[in-house]
């Protein structure tokens, strides 16, 4: 079901045509990237306003690269003042909608993997001559701490000069901000003064607003230099190993101890040396490993087992990939080494596998391999899988790692492949703790996210969230038990329930109920991992939970979709029915997935979406101070706010001539996630 509103003009200035600004007649006259960070939870809202200066229709493209770990939370298109608002639905329904659209011959776009750490959202709209179109996309992500900092990477590539370009970030960290930096891969010395950053206490701000001429690659060039990454990095003050925040029945616990002795580490590299790894791939592995001192296991047609050091430069290419044999040999090596006392009792053992393909010899059933590896490791060591290239079963590598306390990572076949490997190794090179368990008051919490971790690495952070079973408690104590390099350690953190007045004092800097959003984000991520390993009724139950949470919290996940369609005639009447006729102007058809309690998200104030107007109302009840009824039929702001756009009413710049303009454009499109591949879009005019 589409939500359709008639809106006022864009807040961006009226588009003009500076020399060299347009791209095949399509001019991006406004592009704003508005970032809000609450503690570690980030919301990015991207608004792009375009105008077709040509005398004929042109195709207007909207492309956004966003992090793979992020969830899209909103997408809207505004065409000549009419907004087409997406609604998040269960994926099967969206699939049916998509197939129906395709069968009618509508064109399709695709959100696809586009880079090392990003997915690409792409949609095109046929813009009539002289028409204005505004695209709004929002996504959210929980930032992971690496190397002692949090990093927000914003992809910038407008492909043309933009009259009004701005990147803005507001950062709120309850513990206080320790440092804040902002830089861009495209920032030259003359643009450095344009990057503004400041922080004090809990609040930080970043802005980058180059003028039209400052964007040029040279004084008279029609091309833009804005092409690359704009990176914001920061960290929180840490007076104690942990920090607990509790608001409105939800808690989040951040744990990142410092100044702890490092544990000895035992790393086994399991390297695919089948023929598909010949050439550059294997050379990059050798280049990476030659300066290190590791145990290596080769796997190919027959597994080779070595209990002594193998020098990487002696690795040779074999025929086929015996993935199961190589993994079992590596696990057996560690098991025997621990059993015989060859390794320090207080040490961290890690298995890292590098492969570029699928098993072609030995055991080839991935389910059997998953079972064999899990039974052999028995939770003793984390398994990290590094996949080279595109011709591999990356989903199975992810599943294999997730079931064994590890993760999977793609390594791209570029000139810096060795640096990619080194970067990953650096993340796990300094284990400080093993067997970490975070405990909370018995019977006081529920729905707690993962609270047992195999390793804690220097510069990282453990995050646990949950609900309070009893909202009337006044204080909250958490205990963390872990094995250190010299002894077992116990950390204790106590927190008083946040006073509402104190919380509200900082509300203008906070993105929604971010603590509850952190809990929902972590819960959905963990349920998706469990679902990958589940079967039958268990998988169906997990699917139901994920869909319900995704719809409630407005997350586009692999199981949900955002649907945007032009309603049929009867639906359009429903959307525009006046309150006097007994229907809310935004009534949706009954749906068990849409009947959940409202989301706690307090969305960003999209600059192009002021309070919706209801053109069919006959009187303003109550009168809207921002949209006076000064013409017939009167306009008013009585329509309830859509959960995606709960911003206060913006002043409406509506004139009688503007109100008589009607957009007759027909818009039908759907986008939905396709597994881990992204989102599909179908557009027709």
CATH of the domain at 443: 2.60.40
Q: Domain containing 396 — which CATH number?
A: 3.40.50.410
DSSP 231: E
Last residue of a domain, one of 426, 444, 469: 426
Residue 6, domain member (yes or no): no
Is the domain of 251 the same as that of 373? Answer: no
Residue 662, domain member (yes or no): no
For β-strands 118-127 and 112-113, DSSP reports them as: antiparallel
Burial track 604-639 (b if 16+ CB lie within 10 A, e otherwise):
bebbbbbbbbbeebeebeeebeebeeeeeebbbbbb
* pLDDT digit string, tens, across residues 555-578: 888 888 776 654 444 333 222 222
Burial class (CB in 10 A: 0-12, 13-18, 19+), 440: buried
ω into 179 cis (within 30 of 0): no
Identify the CA nearest to 71 among candidates 678, 556, 547: 556
Planar angle of CA 37, 42, 46, nearest 5 degrees: 105
Confirm if 80 and 190 have CB atoms less than 8 A apart.
Answer: no
> What CA–CA distance (Å, rounded) separates 246 from 499?
9
For residue 273, what pLDDT is reported?
Answer: 64
For β-strands 118-127 and 58-67, DSSP reports them as: antiparallel
Is the domain of 311 the same as that of 366? Answer: yes
ω into 633 cis (within 30 of 0): yes
Kindly state the helix (H) or strand (E) to which residue 85 belongs, with its residue range.
strand 82-85
For residue 363, what pLDDT is reported?
Answer: 81
Residue 221, domain member (yes or no): no
Is the domain of 359 the same as that of 454? Answer: no
Structural domain that includes position 511: 238-259+433-525
What angle separates helix 514-533 from helix 536-552, to the nearest 10 degrees? Answer: 160
Identify the CA nearest to 381 among candidates 346, 351, 339, 345: 351
Is the domain of 255 the same as that of 269? Answer: no
Residue 482, domain member (yes or no): yes
* Dihedral class, residue 402 (left if φ above 0, else alpha if ψ from -120 to 50, else beta): alpha
Residue 103, domain member (yes or no): no
Residue 549, domain member (yes or no): no
Is the domain of 299 the same as that of 351? Answer: yes
Which parts of the chain have pLDDT scores under 50?
1-9, 20, 102, 105-114, 275, 288-319, 501, 566-599, 602-685
Is the domain of 476 the same as that of 377? Answer: no
How many domains does the chain divide into? 2
For residue 517, what pLDDT is reported?
Answer: 93
* pLDDT digit string, tens, across residues 472-488: 777 788 999 999 999 99
For residue 425, what pLDDT is reported?
Answer: 83
For residue 604, what pLDDT is reported?
Answer: 38
Nearest-Å Rg of the Cα atoms of the chain is 27
Planar angle of CA 46, 47, 48, nearest 5 degrees: 120
Planar angle of CA 232, 234, 239, nearest 5 degrees: 170
Q: Which position has the token pair 């029609």?
A: 222
Residue 32 is encoded by which pair of tokens? 């704003």
Residue 62, domain member (yes or no): no
Is the domain of 246 the same as that of 318? Answer: no
Is the domain of 346 the same as that of 470? Answer: no
> What CA–CA distance (Å, rounded) separates 76 from 488?
53
Is the domain of 269 the same as that of 255? Answer: no
What's the sign of the alpha-carbon dihedral 546, 548, 553, 556? positive
Is the domain of 398 the same as that of 461? Answer: no
Residue 564, domain member (yes or no): no
Is the domain of 358 the same as that of 390? Answer: yes
> What CA–CA distance (Å, rounded) separates 672 from 561?
4
Residue 87 is encoded by which pair of tokens? 């609604």
Contacts of 604 (CB under 8 A, 6+ apart): 34, 36, 43, 45, 138, 511, 647
For residue 364, what pLDDT is reported?
Answer: 80
Is the domain of 481 the same as that of 373? Answer: no
Identify the CA nearest to 679 among candidates 296, 110, 106, 235: 110
Last residue of a domain, one of 410, 426, 442: 426
Last residue of a domain, one of 483, 501, 525: 525
């Amino acid at each position: 079901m589409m939500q359709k509103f008639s809106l006022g003009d864009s807040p961006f200035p009226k588009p003009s045509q500076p020399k060299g600004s347009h791209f095949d007649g399509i001019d991006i006259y406004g592009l704003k990237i508005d970032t809000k960070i609450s503690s570690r939870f980030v919301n990015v809202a991207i608004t792009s306003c375009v105008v077709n200066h040509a005398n004929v229709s042109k195709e207007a493209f909207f492309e956004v690269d966003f992090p793979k770990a992020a969830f899209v939370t909103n997408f809207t298109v505004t065409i000549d003042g009419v907004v087409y608002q997406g609604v998040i639905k269960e994926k099967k329904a969206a699939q049916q909608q998509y197939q129906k659209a395709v069968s009618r011959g509508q064109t399709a776009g695709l959100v696809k993997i586009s880079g090392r750490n990003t997915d690409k959202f792409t949609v095109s709209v046929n813009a009539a001559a002289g028409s204005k179109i505004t695209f709004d996309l929002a996504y959210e992500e929980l930032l992971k701490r690496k190397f002692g900092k949090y990093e927000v990477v914003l992809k910038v590539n407008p492909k043309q000069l933009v009259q009004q370009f701005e990147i803005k970030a507001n950062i709120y960290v309850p513990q206080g901000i320790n440092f804040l930096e902002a830089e861009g891969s495209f920032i030259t010395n003359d643009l450095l003064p344009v990057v503004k950053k400041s922080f004090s206490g809990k609040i930080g701000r970043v802005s980058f607003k180059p003028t039209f001429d400052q964007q040029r690659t040279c004084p008279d060039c029609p091309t833009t230099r804005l092409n690359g990454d704009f990176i914001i990095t920061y960290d929180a003050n840490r007076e104690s190993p942990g920090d607990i925040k509790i608001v409105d029945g939800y808690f989040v616990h951040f744990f990142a101890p410092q100044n702890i002795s490092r544990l000895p580490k035992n790393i086994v590299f399991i390297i695919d040396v089948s023929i598909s790894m010949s050439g550059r791939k294997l050379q990059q592995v050798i280049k990476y490993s030659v300066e290190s001192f590791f145990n290596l296991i080769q796997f190919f047609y027959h597994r080779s087992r070595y209990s002594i050091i193998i020098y990487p430069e002696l690795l040779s290419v074999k025929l086929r990939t015996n993935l199961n044999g190589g993994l079992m040999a590596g696990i057996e090596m560690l098991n025997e080494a621990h059993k015989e006392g060859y390794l320090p009792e207080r040490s961290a053992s890690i298995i890292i596998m590098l492969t570029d393909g699928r098993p072609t010899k030995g055991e080839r059933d991935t389910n059997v391999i998953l079972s064999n590896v899990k039974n052999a490791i028995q939770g003793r060591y984390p398994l990290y899988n590094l996949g080279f290239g595109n011709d591999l079963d990356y989903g199975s590598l992810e599943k294999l790692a997730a079931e064994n306390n590890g993760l999977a990572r793609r390594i791209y076949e570029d000139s810096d492949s060795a640096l990619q490997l080194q970067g990953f190794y650096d993340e796990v090179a300094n284990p400080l703790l093993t067997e970490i368990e975070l405990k909370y008051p018995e019977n006081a919490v529920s729905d707690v996210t993962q609270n047992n971790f195999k390793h804690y690495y220097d510069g990282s952070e453990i995050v646990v969230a949950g609900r309070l079973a009893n909202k009337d408690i006044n204080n909250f104590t958490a205990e963390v038990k872990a094995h250190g390099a010299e002894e077992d350690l116990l950390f204790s953190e106590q927190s008083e329930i946040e006073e509402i007045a104190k919380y509200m004092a900082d509300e203008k800097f906070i993105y929604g109920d971010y603590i509850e959003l952190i809990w929902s984000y972590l819960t959905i991520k963990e349920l998706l991992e469990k679902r990958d390993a589940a079967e039958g009724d268990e998988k169906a139950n997990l699917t139901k939970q994920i869909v319900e949470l995704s719809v409630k919290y407005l997350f586009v996940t692999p199981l949900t979709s955002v649907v945007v369609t032009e309603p049929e005639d009867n639906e359009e009447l429903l959307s525009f029915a006046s309150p006097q006729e007994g229907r809310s102007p935004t009534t949706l058809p009954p749906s068990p997935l849409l009947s959940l309690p409202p989301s706690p998200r307090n969305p960003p104030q999209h600059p192009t979406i002021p309070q919706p107007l209801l053109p069919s109302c006959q009187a303003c009840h109550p009168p809207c101070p921002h949209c006076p009824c000064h013409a017939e039929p009167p306009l008013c702001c009585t329509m309830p706010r859509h959960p995606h756009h709960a911003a206060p009413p913006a002043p409406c710049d509506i004139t009688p001539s503007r109100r008589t303009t009607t957009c007759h454009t027909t818009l039908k499109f759907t986008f939905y996630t396709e597994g881990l591949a992204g989102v599909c879009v179908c557009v027709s005019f």
